[in-house]
């Protein structure tokens, strides 16, 4: 089954507000998140595995898959649904070999050259960006903007029609629609959900924006 990227929530202990990660994952899933990623750059491996298991448990009633950022070993130990890897993490080929054919594997892309080289037969989706400036991650390169997103999406559509992609970095309810209009199938969000006064309401709002933009795009 194709991965549903419409509202891809990332839970990160450094940007979780007053919430535990399992509680935050439950709140955004209740609001309509379609995919959740655990991103933790600092915790010990054992802590990450325990957290991943707890997050997976709260997502199960919603039918929302859990991915782990970077750490294939943690995904394996916690029996997560897959991983998201960057350009300097484990190669998608190795992640696929270790996780098997049913795992969801995503790959970060920020240039047209990387889009041309991406092993699309081994991955399930790409995260494209950073589209906008973000406080959730140290951006080493300037944002690619909506135009950059559109160009990268077009590479994937040429290579494989309807290949799934989501926009990442700096996404909020005000700008999410523009990324969908540019060709993304969904948005990957951290702070606009986790730091909101009510993450469930924020997720509902964001999901409504994405769904409306997808409907409008499909009518064209």
Q: pLDDT for 100-110, tens place per residue?
A: 999 999 999 99
Nearest to 217 by CA among 166, 174, 175, 183: 183
What is the CA 37 to chain-centroid distance, rounded? 6
- The length of the chain in residues reads 220
Q: What span, in angstroms and rounded, lies between the C-alpha atoms of 130 and 149?
A: 9
* pLDDT at position 134: 75
Tell me, yes or no, whether 2 lies in a domain. Answer: no
Tell me, yes or no, whether 201 lies in a domain. Answer: yes
What are residue 113's DSSP bridge partners? none
Tell me, yes or no, whether 192 lies in a domain. Answer: yes
Q: 189: which residues sit within 8 A by CB, 6+ positions away?
A: 7, 8, 9, 10, 171, 172, 176, 206
Q: How many folded domains does the chain comprise?
A: 1
Tell me, yes or no, whether 1 lies in a domain. Answer: no
* pLDDT at position 40: 96
Per-residue pLDDT band for 139 (boundaries 50, 70, 90) equals low
Q: Does residue 220 have a pLDDT over 90?
A: no
Q: Does residue 111 have a pLDDT over 80?
A: yes
* pLDDT at position 74: 98
Tell me, yes or no, whether 188 lies in a domain. Answer: yes
Q: What is the DSSP string of 17-78?
A: TT--HHHHHHHHHHTT-SEEEE--SSS-HHHHHHHHHHHHHHHGGGT--EEEES-HHHHHHH
Per-residue pLDDT band for 136 (boundaries 50, 70, 90) equals low
- Tokens 């730091």 sit at which residue? 195
Interval 189-215: pLDDT, tens = 999 999 999 999 999 999 999 999 999
Q: Write the CATH number for 125.
A: 3.20.20.70
Per-residue pLDDT band for 157 (boundaries 50, 70, 90) equals very high
137 classed as catalytic:
yes
* DSSP 8-class letter at 65: -
* pLDDT at position 130: 92
Q: Does residue 133 have a pLDDT over 90?
A: no
41 classed as catalytic:
no
Interval 167-182: pLDDT, tens = 999 999 999 999 999 9
Per-residue pLDDT band for 138 (boundaries 50, 70, 90) equals low
Percent of the chain's residues with pLDDT above 70: 97
Q: Given 26, 56, 71, 137, which residue is catalytic?
A: 137
Interval 21-77: pLDDT, tens = 999 999 999 999 999 999 999 999 999 999 999 999 999 999 999 999 999 999 999
Q: Which helix (H) or strand (E) holds 177?
A: helix 176-181
- Structure tokens, 51: 């957290």
- Tokens 């390169």 sit at which residue? 141
Q: What span, in angstroms and rounded, lies between the C-alpha atoms of 72 and 129?
A: 22
Tell me, yes or no, whether 175 lies in a domain. Answer: yes
* pLDDT at position 1: 65
What are residue 108's DSSP bridge partners? 127
Q: Given 6, 26, 39, 71, which residue is catalytic?
A: 39
For the chain, how long is the longest CA-to-CA vector?
A: 49
Tell me, yes or no, whether 196 lies in a domain. Answer: yes
Tell me, yes or no, whether 215 lies in a domain. Answer: yes
What are residue 220's DSSP bridge partners? none
Domain assignment of residue 187, given as a range: 7-219
Q: Given 96, 108, 188, 191, which residue is catalytic?
A: 108
Residue 63 — φ and ψ, nearest 5°? 70, 25
Mean pLDDT of all residues in 147-163: 97
CB atoms within 10 A of CB 97: 12
């Amino acid at each position: 089954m194709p991965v549903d990227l419409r509202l891809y929530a990332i839970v990160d202990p450094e940007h979780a507000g007053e919430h535990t990660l399992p509680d935050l994952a439950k709140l955004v899933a209740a609001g309509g998140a379609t995919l959740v990623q655990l991103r933790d750059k600092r915790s010990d491996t054992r802590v990450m595995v325990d957290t991943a298991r707890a997050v997976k448990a709260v997502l199960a009633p919603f039918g929302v898959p859990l991915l782990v950022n970077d750490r294939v070993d943690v995904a394996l130990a916690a029996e997560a649904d897959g991983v998201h890897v960057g350009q300097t993490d484990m190669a998608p080929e190795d992640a696929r070999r270790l996780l098997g054919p049913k795992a969801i594997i995503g790959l970060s892309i920020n240039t047209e050259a990387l889009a041309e080289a991406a092993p699309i037969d081994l991955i399930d989706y790409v995260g494209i960006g950073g589209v906008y400036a973000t406080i959730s991650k140290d951006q080493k390169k300037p944002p690619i903007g909506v135009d950059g997103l559109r160009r990268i999406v077009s590479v994937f559509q040429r290579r494989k029609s309807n290949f799934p992609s989501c926009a990442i970095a700096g996404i909020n309810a005000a700008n999410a629609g523009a990324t969908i209009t540019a060709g993304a199938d969904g948005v990957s969000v951290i702070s606009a959900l986790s730091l909101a006064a009510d993450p469930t309401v924020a997720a509902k709002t964001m999901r409504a924006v994405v769904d409306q933009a997808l409907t409008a795009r499909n009518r064209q």
